[in-house]
Structure 1
Amino acid sequence: MVTIPPVGWINAGHRHGTKVLGTFCVEWSEGSQQCAEFLDGGKVQAALVKQLTSIAAHFGFDGWLLNFEVELDRKKHIPQLIAFVKELTRQMQEMCPLSLVIWYDAVTTYGRLRWQNAVTAKNQPFFDACNGILLNYSWRRGSLRTQASRRASRLQDEYVGVDVWGRSTRAYGEGYACVAGVAHAKASGRSCGLFAPAWVYEVGETRAWEKRNGAFWASVMSAWGCHAVVTSLPFYSSFNLGGGAAMHISGSVVSPHPWYNVSCQNIQPSSLRVLVGRDGASRWDNGLTQRHTCQFAYNGGSCLVLGGNLCGGQMAWCPLFDADIPVAAGKAV
């Protein structure tokens, strides 16, 4: 029912300027019974809202994704469910003004489990009660354009669902091909929510998952872009991923044992591509690589390795971090 993000994910996400949400999930017949117990419009419902807010405050994450994949009594439970979403959003905002409560497009105001794949009259009241809505992933391309003309004011609060497995949709494909869905979401002026990004690990041989992971997120970034990760000075990164085959400090091994602690992760590069230019021309597809390795490190368990060959007269640039640092007039950086 309640999933609390691991503390390492919370710390690494915040270090990169990313909000991290917990999930409150009730599903199928068991979930319907649970809803009947806590959607009482009284003490139990109020206590649940208070407890969810307290959990987020205690662990330091930023809000909740609400997933109600259940059938409910339209008259008895739906008004209380809308009130629950609204009150949770209010208390979370009171606790942290930048918090997020996101509703997943599942149960409707009729109490039926009918994924809408768009904002409609059947899920609009839930959307209105919180900070945003994650749309189911079976949308059609034309529906994004049609819906956009009606709700410009909160368009970015709609997270277009894109399933990395490409299930139940013809708008995009599976795996790397799902990036077409990401591009459609961006073109529509909305936000985007990815379902099942663990595809990179689950789809093939485990040994190659890191290569798939890098290629997948590079393709997502090419379609969506990347927010600035460096926003203040001083700034430092040794590219430590938060784990490795040994622990290094200032280039020396202080422990030869494998370790893992994502809370120790440094800010990671915005891009792992190498730009090559010759005679004023620049191109990305050049055979040069920039990748992480755990064979060496300066601080932590990993570092970056640049590989490939440069021809005579060529120069290479490695654009590592997108930055957005305010600089006052007359200040040297």
Structure 2
Amino acid sequence: MNPTRRTVLLAGAAAAFLPALPTGTAQAAPKATAALQPYASYWYPDSLPSGSPGPGITWRSLKSWRAATDADLPFNAASVPLAPRFTPTPVNTTARAGQARVQSLVSFGPTSSNPSQGSATADYYALTHWAYIDELVFWGGSSGEGLILAPNAPVVDAAHRHGVPVLGNVFLPPAAYGGQLQWTRDLVRKDASGRYPLAAQLVAVAAAHGFDGWFVNAETGGGNSALGADMLGFVKELRRLATAAGQRITWYDAMTVNGSVSWQGALNGQNQAFFQAADDMFVDFRWSASSLAASGQKAVQLGRDRYALWAGVDVESGGWNTSVDWDAIVPADRAHIASLGLYRPEWTRGQLPAGHTPEDFHAADDRFWTGRSLDPSRPDTADSWRAPALSVADRSTVAALPFATAFNTGHGLRWYEDGQAVSERPWNHLGLQDRLPSRRWVVRTDGRRPAVAFDFADAWRGGSSVLVTGALDRPAELDLYATRLPISADTVVELTHRTDTGTVRLELAVATVDPDAAGGAPPYTYLPVPAGSGDGWRTSVVRLSGLSGTVHALGVRLTATGGGPVGWRLGGLCVHDGTDTPAAPSGLRFTAASGGDLRLAWEHPAPGTVRHYTLHRVLPDGTRAFLGGTGQRAYFTGGQTPAPGEPAVRIEVRAVGELYTSSAPSTVTHPW
């Protein structure tokens, strides 16, 4: 990889580690003098750089890491298992199922000082187009901070909810960026029995943190054939151990079998052994149409899938303006040649001007993933940017009851509960992201197409809602979810909605089979939604009377019933055949305290029933102040100060179920 593509980020404050307290409701937590903010983990293989780390950086050795002594692990361990997903009939005639896949290499934050559980800003790369992604690489690493990155829990939880595996990153940087060959030797060093201890460590880290494997990127030059042989042995053992643990390994086309670094831009004799040792390989950006074609043929000759090759496309500086020979990867008139490896698509956020809004970000991200038409059912084939939605069929994980969404994108300007803003602070936490519509935004109408977007000015829960605006001179049908939801006599659909402008007749659109062919509209049945009364948010319940089998698609049809433009919001959608409330958390306790910085932990008797947890501070007058939410059974809150006459801080934790029902609170106090 060309070193000019590297961004070395150094900033922030390091985490401090403290022991846990016994369970209790009025315990004084151990005091600390260092900040307690937990951050995503990163390491060197073994030996550390000379000198001292920069501000906010902690140098750690992977060789010495142990889960039992990692006090930040409860904040960094994912809580959502990898969801199975299915491929519905493609929404257009250009997208293919079972051919090219998409790998996305994303830097969500700096290597050091990357918060474990979100932060107090809405300006974040809140990736939502998971439906087109098959593998996410948590990109980063630098010679001055650490080379091995474990993805933070919010990213893993959001990806897993949408069925996307997440890989940590092993980055051995070029010498021009401070890379030292000693670090490569540390990584592949064998023990007395001929095993590779750090291969086992990597698998243990992924298992403890709950992510899905590793992206191995060895770019430090100066090696020889002996080092190449050791690296090959290391990758073979890493994959063997990873496979046994349900993990996967991707190799980056950099180091060759002779130990040198020489980016091939192809699968050939210089890297074939590494490809065979790994699950798949990222082909460096130097590829050509002929080298990719030959690489695909070679993969097949080796008994491998040609789509196990990710053809690298560098979008870090150009985004959708990047010039790409698309026909060399995903030709429109014949079978795809290879899979697509997108390097740094967070450009969609980075290219925005100062002062941009969450709406600005999502408009840019929709343009990147869906294409210029902003409607995957109407792909713009004349667009020079061949967006993933034009080539790759979308996938869905909405296949079991109950299912609910508040269209929460994982960041916001405020936090809403039941339509009320309970916190005016901006925030991000991808782990709180809901399963989101994959086909954004498919609108079918004989009239003028209304605008559809995530909106952050108001929400029912979380930070966002779906806003439809426009003339609505003809009825408009909006696709929401491809599903596989079983229908019983008790199945109902609840929609929480609000009309801001004009008057709208709302119908629920339900299809019990897929379209007959790609590009076809779901064969919807339209069920009237009770109008309700009064202004503001309302929740309408629709029984699926007369329908049986399985729901394959859900949408809404909007018809304007008065003159003028319409503004309509969808704040929530639930499908269920009975409600349930989760049990309350147990064992709530403070595990560390430093002034107003507090760490808490708890257990839950049935964690699989919990969507996430919410935390509130109870003030002396009985009012509740929202602190935040998380999927983990540990939480950090910083900067708390005593209210007048308050002897102790009191915090409540509630478990929130799939249908957003909240448990009774568990409460703990800590003397100031």
Quote the Cα distance in structure 1 between the aligned partners of 2:322 and 2:195. 39
Equivalent position of 2:472 in the other structure: 310
1:25 is aligned to 2:171: yes
Contact 1:17 1:229 in 2 (8 A): yes
1:39 is aligned to 2:207: no
Give 1:73 shift. Answer: 3.2
Quote the Cα distance in structure 1 between the aligned partners of 2:430 and 2:299. 39
Contact 1:274 1:316 in 2 (8 A): no
Contact 1:32 1:71 in 2 (8 A): yes
Give 1:204 shift. Answer: 4.2
Quote the Cα distance in structure 2 between the aligned partners of 1:196 and 1:177. 14
Quote the Cα distance in structure 1 between the aligned partners of 2:326 and 2:148. 28
Deviations 1:89-132 (A, max 9, x none): 11111112xx2200000111122211111111100100100100
Equivalent position of 2:462 in the other structure: 300
Contact 2:443 2:449 in 1 (8 A): no
Of stretches 232-241 and 244-253 in structure 1, the one that deviates more from structure 2 is: 244-253
Q: Partner amino acid for 2:319?
A: G
SS at match of 2:285: coil
Q: How does 1:225-236 map onto structure 2 within 5 Å?
A: 225-236=393-404
Contact 2:415 2:423 in 1 (8 A): yes
Higher relative contact order (CA 8 A, sep 6+): 2
Deviations 1:163-214 (A, max 9, x none): 1147xxxxxxx42144855664234342211112122223341424443222
Deviations 1:221-268 (A, max 9, x none): 223232223232321111011232222222233333333221111011
Quote the Cα distance in structure 1 between the aligned partners of 2:343 and 2:419. 39
Quote the Cα distance in structure 2 between the aligned partners of 1:247 and 1:55. 33
Q: Which of 370, 383, 396 lines up with 1:218 in the alignment?
A: 370
Bigger fraction of residues in helix: 1
Q: Partner amino acid for 2:364?
A: R
Equivalent position of 1:108 in the other structure: 256
Runs of 5+ unmatched residues, structure 2: 1-146, 372-386, 489-511, 513-547, 552-672
Q: How does 1:245-264 map onto structure 2 within 5 Å?
A: 245-264=413-432
Deviations 1:256-291 (A, max 9, x none): 33332211110111122242332xxx9xxx552211
Q: How does 1:159-198 map onto structure 2 within 5 Å?
A: 159-165=310-316, 174-178=318-322, 180-181=324-325, 184-187=328-331, 188-198=336-346
Quote the Cα distance in structure 2 between the aligned partners of 1:301 and 1:148. 44
Of stretches 254-263 and 126-135 in structure 1, the one that deviates more from structure 2 is: 254-263
Quote the Cα distance in structure 1 between the aligned partners of 2:478 and 2:461. 21
Give 1:327 shift. Answer: 8.2
Quote the Cα distance in structure 2 between the aligned partners of 1:73 and 1:120. 19
Give 1:45 shift. Answer: 6.5
Equivalent position of 2:238 in the other structure: 88
SS at match of 1:295: coil
Contact 2:228 2:257 in 1 (8 A): yes
Q: Give % identity.
A: 27
Equivalent residues, number: 316
1:54 is aligned to 2:204: yes
Quote the Cα distance in structure 2 between the aligned partners of 1:210 and 1:100. 30
Q: CA RMSD for the aligned pairs? A: 2.6
Of stretches 37-46 and 75-84 in structure 1, the one that deviates more from structure 2 is: 37-46
Quote the Cα distance in structure 2 between the aligned partners of 1:305 and 1:151. 46
Q: Of the two, which has the highest radius of gyration?
A: 2
Quote the Cα distance in structure 1 between the aligned partners of 2:351 and 2:427. 26
Deviations 1:19-44 (A, max 9, x none): 11100111123332211234333269
Equivalent position of 1:143 in the other structure: 291
Contact 1:103 1:127 in 2 (8 A): yes
SS at match of 1:214: helix
Contact 1:274 1:288 in 2 (8 A): no
Quote the Cα distance in structure 1 between the aligned partners of 2:487 and 2:264. 46
Q: Partner amino acid for 2:393?
A: G
Deviations 1:12-65 (A, max 9, x none): 000011111100111123332211234333269722111111110111000100
Of stretches 226-235 and 180-189 in structure 1, the one that deviates more from structure 2 is: 180-189
Q: TM-score, normalised by structure 2?
A: 0.44
Quote the Cα distance in structure 1 between the aligned partners of 2:486 and 2:281. 32
Q: Partner amino acid for 2:152?
A: P
Runs of 5+ unmatched residues, structure 1: 167-173
Structure 1 residues 156 and 13: alpha-carbon distance in aligned structure 2, compared to 1, 3 A threshold: same
Contact 1:182 1:224 in 2 (8 A): no
Q: Partner amino acid for 1:228?
A: S
Contact 2:284 2:312 in 1 (8 A): yes
Structure 1 residues 55 and 226: alpha-carbon distance in aligned structure 2, compared to 1, 3 A threshold: same
Give 1:299 shift. Answer: 1.4
Equivalent position of 2:14 in the other structure: none
Equivalent position of 1:154 in the other structure: 305
Q: Partner amino acid for 1:257?
A: R
Structure 1 residues 287 and 176: alpha-carbon distance in aligned structure 2, compared to 1, 3 A threshold: farther
Q: Partner amino acid for 1:60?
A: G
